[in-house]
Amino acid sequence: MIDSVSIIVSTYNRPDALDACLRALAHQTDQLFEIVVADDGSGPQTSQIIKDWAPRLPVSIRHVWHEHGGFRGAEIRNRGIQRSNGRYCIFLDGDCLAPPDFVAGHRRLAEPGWFVAGNRILLSAKLTTGILAEGLEAENWSFAALVRERLSGGVNRLLPAMRLPLGPIRKLRHGDWLGAKTCNLAVARDDLDRIDGFDASYVGWGLEDSDLVLRLLHAGVRRKDGRFATGVLHLWHPEVDRLGLQENERRLAEVLSGNRTAAKQGLSTLD
Protein backbone atom coordinates (compact mmCIF):
# COMPACT_ATOMS: atom_id res chain seq x y z
CA MET A 1 0.00 0.00 0.00
CA ILE A 2 1.24 3.51 -0.80
CA ASP A 3 1.99 5.75 2.15
CA SER A 4 2.23 9.32 0.83
CA VAL A 5 -0.33 10.86 -1.53
CA SER A 6 -0.45 14.28 -3.18
CA ILE A 7 -3.69 15.49 -4.72
CA ILE A 8 -2.80 18.02 -7.42
CA VAL A 9 -5.82 20.23 -8.04
CA SER A 10 -5.66 22.33 -11.22
CA THR A 11 -7.64 25.56 -11.36
CA TYR A 12 -8.06 28.84 -13.18
CA ASN A 13 -10.35 31.66 -12.04
CA ARG A 14 -13.15 29.53 -10.59
CA PRO A 15 -12.93 30.34 -6.89
CA ASP A 16 -16.50 29.21 -6.18
CA ALA A 17 -15.86 25.81 -7.74
CA LEU A 18 -12.49 25.49 -6.01
CA ASP A 19 -14.17 26.27 -2.70
CA ALA A 20 -16.56 23.35 -3.25
CA CYS A 21 -13.71 21.10 -4.42
CA LEU A 22 -11.69 21.79 -1.25
CA ARG A 23 -14.77 21.27 0.92
CA ALA A 24 -15.17 17.79 -0.57
CA LEU A 25 -11.50 16.99 0.02
CA ALA A 26 -11.81 18.18 3.62
CA HIS A 27 -14.28 15.39 4.33
CA GLN A 28 -12.40 12.39 2.95
CA THR A 29 -12.53 9.22 5.00
CA ASP A 30 -8.81 8.75 4.24
CA GLN A 31 -6.97 11.89 5.37
CA LEU A 32 -3.38 10.77 4.76
CA PHE A 33 -2.68 13.10 1.86
CA GLU A 34 -1.64 16.64 0.96
CA ILE A 35 -3.25 19.09 -1.45
CA VAL A 36 -1.29 21.10 -4.02
CA VAL A 37 -3.40 23.67 -5.88
CA ALA A 38 -1.85 24.12 -9.34
CA ASP A 39 -3.11 27.55 -10.39
CA ASP A 40 -2.82 28.56 -14.05
CA GLY A 41 -2.69 32.31 -13.28
CA SER A 42 -5.90 33.05 -11.35
CA GLY A 43 -6.64 36.37 -9.67
CA PRO A 44 -6.52 37.10 -5.92
CA GLN A 45 -9.90 35.51 -5.15
CA THR A 46 -8.43 32.06 -5.70
CA SER A 47 -5.54 32.77 -3.37
CA GLN A 48 -8.00 33.96 -0.72
CA ILE A 49 -10.07 30.78 -0.99
CA ILE A 50 -6.94 28.73 -0.33
CA LYS A 51 -5.94 30.92 2.62
CA ASP A 52 -9.44 30.60 4.07
CA TRP A 53 -9.39 26.81 3.80
CA ALA A 54 -5.85 26.23 5.08
CA PRO A 55 -6.68 26.37 8.83
CA ARG A 56 -9.87 24.31 8.36
CA LEU A 57 -8.42 21.43 6.38
CA PRO A 58 -7.32 18.26 8.18
CA VAL A 59 -4.41 18.02 5.69
CA SER A 60 -1.73 20.41 4.44
CA ILE A 61 -2.31 22.60 1.39
CA ARG A 62 0.04 24.68 -0.75
CA HIS A 63 -0.61 27.05 -3.63
CA VAL A 64 1.51 26.90 -6.80
CA TRP A 65 0.91 29.79 -9.23
CA HIS A 66 2.33 31.09 -12.47
CA GLU A 67 1.34 34.07 -14.54
CA HIS A 68 -1.51 33.41 -16.94
CA GLY A 69 -0.34 32.99 -20.51
CA GLY A 70 -3.27 31.20 -22.08
CA PHE A 71 -4.25 27.66 -21.11
CA ARG A 72 -1.10 26.04 -19.77
CA GLY A 73 -2.52 23.06 -17.95
CA ALA A 74 0.50 20.85 -18.64
CA GLU A 75 3.03 23.31 -17.26
CA ILE A 76 1.11 24.21 -14.12
CA ARG A 77 0.53 20.55 -13.31
CA ASN A 78 4.28 20.01 -13.66
CA ARG A 79 4.82 22.84 -11.19
CA GLY A 80 2.36 21.14 -8.89
CA ILE A 81 4.26 17.85 -9.19
CA GLN A 82 7.52 19.68 -8.53
CA ARG A 83 6.17 21.12 -5.27
CA SER A 84 4.50 17.91 -4.10
CA ASN A 85 5.90 15.52 -1.50
CA GLY A 86 3.83 12.41 -2.19
CA ARG A 87 5.08 9.28 -3.90
CA TYR A 88 1.65 8.93 -5.52
CA CYS A 89 -0.03 11.81 -7.36
CA ILE A 90 -3.76 12.04 -7.88
CA PHE A 91 -4.77 14.67 -10.44
CA LEU A 92 -8.13 16.34 -9.91
CA ASP A 93 -9.70 19.36 -11.59
CA GLY A 94 -10.68 22.26 -9.35
CA ASP A 95 -14.29 22.01 -10.53
CA CYS A 96 -14.66 18.37 -9.47
CA LEU A 97 -16.32 17.19 -6.26
CA ALA A 98 -14.75 14.05 -4.83
CA PRO A 99 -17.03 11.77 -2.79
CA PRO A 100 -15.82 10.88 0.73
CA ASP A 101 -14.23 7.59 -0.37
CA PHE A 102 -12.29 9.09 -3.30
CA VAL A 103 -8.82 9.03 -1.75
CA ALA A 104 -9.47 5.68 -0.08
CA GLY A 105 -10.55 4.21 -3.41
CA HIS A 106 -7.45 5.44 -5.21
CA ARG A 107 -5.17 4.22 -2.43
CA ARG A 108 -6.79 0.79 -2.56
CA LEU A 109 -6.27 0.53 -6.35
CA ALA A 110 -2.68 1.81 -6.36
CA GLU A 111 -0.23 -0.79 -7.64
CA PRO A 112 3.38 -0.58 -8.87
CA GLY A 113 3.57 -0.44 -12.66
CA TRP A 114 0.00 0.78 -13.10
CA PHE A 115 -1.75 4.15 -13.33
CA VAL A 116 -5.43 4.48 -12.43
CA ALA A 117 -7.89 6.25 -14.72
CA GLY A 118 -11.07 7.30 -12.95
CA ASN A 119 -14.26 8.70 -14.42
CA ARG A 120 -16.85 11.41 -13.75
CA ILE A 121 -20.48 12.45 -13.78
CA LEU A 122 -21.12 15.70 -15.65
CA LEU A 123 -23.53 18.15 -14.01
CA SER A 124 -25.85 20.49 -15.86
CA ALA A 125 -25.45 24.27 -15.81
CA LYS A 126 -28.62 24.67 -13.77
CA LEU A 127 -27.63 22.11 -11.16
CA THR A 128 -24.09 23.51 -10.95
CA THR A 129 -25.45 27.02 -10.35
CA GLY A 130 -27.67 25.76 -7.54
CA ILE A 131 -24.88 23.77 -5.88
CA LEU A 132 -22.48 26.70 -5.87
CA ALA A 133 -25.04 29.34 -4.91
CA GLU A 134 -26.52 27.33 -2.03
CA GLY A 135 -23.38 25.51 -0.89
CA LEU A 136 -25.00 22.13 -1.50
CA GLU A 137 -22.72 19.20 -0.64
CA ALA A 138 -23.48 17.18 -3.76
CA GLU A 139 -20.46 14.95 -3.13
CA ASN A 140 -22.42 13.47 -0.21
CA TRP A 141 -25.66 12.85 -2.08
CA SER A 142 -27.09 9.36 -1.98
CA PHE A 143 -27.45 7.25 -5.10
CA ALA A 144 -31.23 7.81 -4.89
CA ALA A 145 -30.68 11.58 -4.98
CA LEU A 146 -28.51 11.22 -8.07
CA VAL A 147 -31.19 9.06 -9.70
CA ARG A 148 -33.65 11.91 -9.18
CA GLU A 149 -31.20 14.34 -10.76
CA ARG A 150 -30.70 11.97 -13.69
CA LEU A 151 -34.43 11.84 -14.31
CA SER A 152 -34.64 15.65 -14.27
CA GLY A 153 -31.57 16.17 -16.47
CA GLY A 154 -29.26 17.40 -13.73
CA VAL A 155 -26.58 14.76 -14.36
CA ASN A 156 -25.59 12.92 -17.50
CA ARG A 157 -25.17 9.40 -16.04
CA LEU A 158 -25.11 7.36 -12.84
CA LEU A 159 -22.59 4.54 -13.20
CA PRO A 160 -19.55 6.49 -11.84
CA ALA A 161 -21.40 6.82 -8.51
CA MET A 162 -21.71 3.06 -8.10
CA ARG A 163 -19.16 1.01 -6.16
CA LEU A 164 -18.35 -2.49 -7.42
CA PRO A 165 -15.35 -4.79 -6.75
CA LEU A 166 -14.29 -5.48 -10.34
CA GLY A 167 -11.11 -7.38 -9.47
CA PRO A 168 -9.09 -8.47 -12.54
CA ILE A 169 -11.62 -6.79 -14.85
CA ARG A 170 -9.95 -3.49 -13.94
CA LYS A 171 -6.92 -4.52 -15.99
CA LEU A 172 -8.66 -5.53 -19.21
CA ARG A 173 -7.93 -2.16 -20.86
CA HIS A 174 -4.30 -2.15 -19.75
CA GLY A 175 -3.02 -0.68 -23.03
CA ASP A 176 -5.86 1.75 -23.82
CA TRP A 177 -5.21 5.50 -23.67
CA LEU A 178 -8.65 6.71 -24.77
CA GLY A 179 -10.86 8.30 -22.11
CA ALA A 180 -8.16 8.75 -19.46
CA LYS A 181 -8.47 12.34 -18.19
CA THR A 182 -6.51 14.36 -15.68
CA CYS A 183 -9.72 15.41 -13.97
CA ASN A 184 -9.37 12.01 -12.24
CA LEU A 185 -6.07 10.26 -12.79
CA ALA A 186 -3.55 8.71 -10.39
CA VAL A 187 0.12 8.07 -11.22
CA ALA A 188 3.12 7.08 -9.10
CA ARG A 189 5.68 9.87 -8.76
CA ASP A 190 8.47 7.58 -9.91
CA ASP A 191 6.56 6.93 -13.15
CA LEU A 192 5.97 10.66 -13.67
CA ASP A 193 9.70 11.25 -13.21
CA ARG A 194 10.51 8.46 -15.69
CA ILE A 195 8.62 10.24 -18.47
CA ASP A 196 9.53 13.76 -17.27
CA GLY A 197 5.92 14.64 -16.40
CA PHE A 198 3.54 16.52 -18.64
CA ASP A 199 4.68 18.05 -21.92
CA ALA A 200 4.38 21.82 -21.52
CA SER A 201 4.71 22.33 -25.26
CA TYR A 202 0.95 21.67 -25.25
CA VAL A 203 -0.43 25.20 -24.95
CA GLY A 204 -4.15 25.83 -25.28
CA TRP A 205 -6.94 23.48 -24.28
CA GLY A 206 -6.78 19.79 -25.02
CA LEU A 207 -4.81 16.54 -25.24
CA GLU A 208 -1.99 17.18 -22.77
CA ASP A 209 -3.53 14.43 -20.66
CA SER A 210 -3.69 12.02 -23.60
CA ASP A 211 -0.04 12.74 -24.33
CA LEU A 212 0.90 11.91 -20.73
CA VAL A 213 -1.03 8.64 -20.77
CA LEU A 214 0.44 7.54 -24.11
CA ARG A 215 3.98 8.13 -22.90
CA LEU A 216 3.25 6.22 -19.69
CA LEU A 217 2.09 3.29 -21.82
CA HIS A 218 5.20 3.57 -24.00
CA ALA A 219 7.27 3.38 -20.80
CA GLY A 220 5.54 0.14 -19.79
CA VAL A 221 3.18 1.61 -17.19
CA ARG A 222 -0.21 0.01 -17.69
CA ARG A 223 -3.74 1.28 -17.23
CA LYS A 224 -5.98 0.17 -14.39
CA ASP A 225 -9.66 1.09 -14.49
CA GLY A 226 -10.91 3.25 -11.63
CA ARG A 227 -14.56 2.95 -12.59
CA PHE A 228 -16.96 1.92 -9.82
CA ALA A 229 -14.38 3.02 -7.23
CA THR A 230 -13.23 6.62 -7.74
CA GLY A 231 -15.92 8.51 -9.72
CA VAL A 232 -16.29 12.27 -9.16
CA LEU A 233 -18.90 14.94 -9.91
CA HIS A 234 -17.74 17.42 -12.53
CA LEU A 235 -19.36 20.86 -12.28
CA TRP A 236 -20.52 22.43 -15.51
CA HIS A 237 -18.40 25.12 -17.15
CA PRO A 238 -18.71 27.04 -20.42
CA GLU A 239 -16.88 25.56 -23.39
CA VAL A 240 -13.31 26.80 -23.41
CA ASP A 241 -11.40 28.36 -26.31
CA ARG A 242 -10.04 25.56 -28.50
CA LEU A 243 -7.88 27.74 -30.72
CA GLY A 244 -4.75 25.66 -30.19
CA LEU A 245 -6.40 22.26 -30.51
CA GLN A 246 -5.25 21.60 -34.08
CA GLU A 247 -1.60 22.06 -33.15
CA ASN A 248 -2.07 19.87 -30.08
CA GLU A 249 -3.63 17.19 -32.28
CA ARG A 250 -0.50 17.31 -34.46
CA ARG A 251 1.68 16.85 -31.37
CA LEU A 252 -0.39 13.92 -30.18
CA ALA A 253 -0.29 12.24 -33.61
CA GLU A 254 3.50 12.30 -33.42
CA VAL A 255 3.43 10.55 -30.04
CA LEU A 256 0.89 8.02 -31.31
CA SER A 257 3.05 7.10 -34.29
CA GLY A 258 6.21 6.53 -32.26
CA ASN A 259 7.42 5.17 -28.95
CA ARG A 260 8.78 8.29 -27.26
CA THR A 261 8.46 8.34 -23.48
CA ALA A 262 10.02 11.65 -22.44
CA ALA A 263 8.20 14.98 -22.57
CA LYS A 264 9.74 17.50 -24.94
CA GLN A 265 9.24 20.23 -22.34
CA GLY A 266 8.82 18.43 -19.05
CA LEU A 267 9.60 18.57 -15.35
CA SER A 268 13.33 18.81 -15.98
CA THR A 269 12.90 22.11 -17.86
CA LEU A 270 11.23 23.98 -14.99
CA ASP A 271 13.18 26.76 -13.33
Element of type H or E holding 8: strand 5-11
What is the number of H-type helices and E-type strands within the chain? Answer: 9, 10
- Identify each DSSP E strand in 55-142 by its residue range: 61-65, 88-93, 96-97, 114-117, 120-122
The CA–CA distances, whole Å, from 119 to 102, 151, 226 equal 11, 20, 7
In this prediction the pTM is 0.96
* 225/251 Cα distance (integer angstroms): 26
- Give residue-wise pLDDT tens across range 173-232: 999 999 999 999 999 999 999 999 999 999 988 899 999 999 999 999 999 999 999 999
Query: Could you tell me if 214 and 252 are in contact, meaning their C-beta atoms sit under 8 angstroms apart?
Result: yes
Q: Cβ-count burial of 152 within 10 angstroms (0-12 exposed, 13-18 middle, 19+ buried)? A: exposed
Q: Cβ-count burial of 178 within 10 angstroms (0-12 exposed, 13-18 middle, 19+ buried)? A: exposed
Model confidence at 34, pLDDT cuts 50, 70, 90, reads: very high
Model confidence at 1, pLDDT cuts 50, 70, 90, reads: low
Query: Could you tell me if 233 and 121 are in contact, meaning their C-beta atoms sit under 8 angstroms apart?
Result: yes
- Give residue-wise pLDDT tens across range 60-78: 999 999 999 989 999 999 9
Confidence check: pLDDT of 134 > 90: yes
Q: Cβ-count burial of 217 within 10 angstroms (0-12 exposed, 13-18 middle, 19+ buried)? A: buried
Q: What is the pLDDT of residue 2?
A: 77
Confidence check: pLDDT of 124 > 80: yes
Q: Which residues pair with 38 in a beta bridge?
A: 10, 64
- Judge: domain 5-269, CATH 3.40.50.12140: no
Q: Which sequence spans correspond to the domains of the chain?
A: 5-269
* 205/241 Cα distance (integer angstroms): 7
